[in-house]
Amino acid sequence: MAEKATSKNKTPTAPKALFDILEKMELKVQSDKDFVTRAYELARKAHRGQKRYSGEPYLNHVVCTALYLAKIGMGPTIVSAGLLHDTLEDSDITHEQIAQATSEEVANLVEGVTKLGHVRYHGMQRHTESLRKLFAATSQDVRVMLIKLADRLHNAHTLEFVPREDKRSRIAHETLEIYAPIADRLGMGVMKREIEDAVFPFAYPEEYKRTKQIFKEMGGEELKRLEHIHNNLRKKLGEYGVKKFRTMSRIKGLYSLYRKLERKNWDSAQINDIWALRIIVPTVSDCYTVLGIVHSEWRPLYGRLKDYIAAPKPNGYRSIHTTVHTGENDNIEIQIRTEEMHKEAQWGVASHFTYKEATTRGNHSRGGAMSWIRQFIPARIWMESQGHTENGENTYSNAETPEWLKNIGDPKLSSNSDPKAFLQDIKSDFFNFRVFVFTPRGDVIDLPINASPIDFAYAIHSEIGNHMSGAKVNGKLASLDTPLKNGDVVEITTSPKSHPTQKWLSLAKTSLAKRHIKAYLTPQGSHQTDS
Ligand code: MN
């Protein structure tokens, strides 16, 4: 993730591309450099004479894929698999040749990526099937998906060269409907945004133009205002004695802005978060201190405070979000998080595979492999797995808790267990806590095991939950206590007259649904808006 330039040790004979990869990886050990070099040479041999639609040598594509993996901190195995990811599919190179030049692990990763290559987006009816396949493959080894996403990102960036409009459009939709949600599920915020914005113009050309125009109109003024608030914020933090912090602004991705505009009927006045300010501080308690300062300086907007530190998103995302009133008609969203949360929010699951951490993992200086995965599991799931329950209700029975999760936190087990076996468990069980269900439109909703249609309805929108009258699962009427299974397509019917009842509380599994039901059942219940 660090991008330090080290121009020493330049190998004059090595081609520039290989040099760039090695430089970005900051490899210290010669055998690691040799390993990646052998992967590069094999890829060069495999793709000799092949060209991309752009007319560039095919090798450029696999080099860009590998460079991205290097940029996000991946080590020799993943980067090498990135270099070789198209060899099984597009050349005579065999599994054995890859294993011989690099390792069996690299060959297996390339094989995994090759299998994913056959998943295609064929319109809505076959969409869920593709997604299910992808999730199944990902659950075997998350690293395969990291490589596939890096591959897809470069294809997205070079989509303009693909001949035929219909093909460009299909690839763009496939990227938005299948790959972006997976990047999101893996917590890779930066990846999700990059691939979405790269294909947005090809998937929805008209909407893209309209969104860009709105962005431009809102952009100029916003930027000036932002600068002003940014300076003010830094000054205030200083006045309150907060010394260690850094701030930055973040711009909403165009595709994400488009989705929000659609939800708000294209009323740009309702969009508060084109720009947001981020404050990054050393510890969790600093986050709350800063939140206090922000709220004492600027009036927070009702219902807009979201504490994803206390209650992380299902993909592990942690941060505090609040929207504050900064004068006249101006509101701004402020996001507060620690460095570690920031890293995870950008790179998600990849932030736990970083090469530099892997090399220090052996000495258990930070609790070893156990601690990083422990951090990645949302706190709520973690507590439930340990027998702690929220409001006395248990969502997961102990029988459903995977072995590896039960053992986390046991110091004897975590220092003695074989990290390799552990990683294997993680890779296969990672997705077993959650079920992925689909809206009739094919959007993925990620819920805890045994979630009910009530949880599904509230996960879509609080108003849908509050007016739910019935549910169909896979086209058939289903009772509200039906446990949802992976791959179910769920349709919610609503009626203005339907409202939550006390019984719903016992059927709901997610704290989100429970919170909304309780708020509804309480006479002076708060009616917060979701965004
Ligand atoms: Mn490729």
Q: pTM of the entire structure? A: 0.64
Q: In angstroms, what is the span from residue 155 Cα to ligand 1's centroid?
A: 7
| Assigned token pair, 266 | 């294209």
Q: In angstroms, what is the span from residue 117 Cα to ligand 1's centroid?
A: 8
Rounded average pLDDT over 115-126: 54
Q: Collect all residues with Cβ–Cβ distance below 8 Å to 39 and sequence separation of at least 6.
A: 79, 80, 81, 83, 84, 101, 102, 106
Please report the pLDDT score of residue 386 as a whole number. 35
Please report the pLDDT score of residue 59 as a whole number. 95
Please report the pLDDT score of residue 378 as a whole number. 37
Distance CA 61, CA 153 (A): 10
Q: In angstroms, what is the span from residue 40 Cα to ligand 1's centroid?
A: 15
Catalytic residues: 89-90
Query: Is residue 448 pLDDT above 80, yes or no?
Result: no
Q: In angstroms, what is the span from residue 156 Cα to ligand 1's centroid?
A: 11
Strands (E), 144-218: none
Q: In angstroms, what is the span from residue 139 Cα to ligand 1's centroid?
A: 21
Helices (H), 3-141: 16-25, 30-46, 59-71, 76-83, 87-90, 95-101, 104-116, 124-140
Please report the pLDDT score of residue 365 as a whole number. 29
| CB-based burial, 288-324: b 16+ in 10 Å, e otherwise | bbbbebbeeebebbeebebbbbeebebbbbbbbbbbb
Instruction: Given CATH 1.10.3210.10, say whether it is the number of domain 14-203.
Output: yes
Rounded average pLDDT over 412-418: 36
Please report the pLDDT score of residue 433 as a whole number. 58
The topology under which CATH files domain 211-347 is Beta Polymerase; domain 2 (3.30.460)
Higher pLDDT: 130 or 447? It is: 447
Q: In angstroms, what is the span from residue 81 Cα to ligand 1's centroid?
A: 11
Q: In angstroms, what is the span from residue 2 Cα to ligand 1's centroid?
A: 25
Higher pLDDT: 55 or 178? It is: 55
Q: In angstroms, what is the span from residue 103 Cα to ligand 1's centroid?
A: 20
Q: In angstroms, what is the span from residue 317 Cα to ligand 1's centroid?
A: 29
In the chain, CATH 3.30.460.10 sits at 211-347
Q: What is the per-residue pLDDT across 368-392, written as a single tens digit (0 to 9) for each?
A: 333 333 333 333 333 333 333 333 3
Please report the pLDDT score of residue 531 as a whole number. 45
In the chain, CATH 1.10.3210.10 sits at 14-203
Query: Is residue 473 pLDDT above 60, yes or no?
Result: yes
3-state SS record for 381-426: HHHHHCCCCECCECCCCHHHCCHHHHHCCCHHHHHHCCHHHHHHHH
Rounded average pLDDT over 404-431: 39
Distance CA 248, CA 189 (A): 16
Averaged pLDDT of the chain: 78
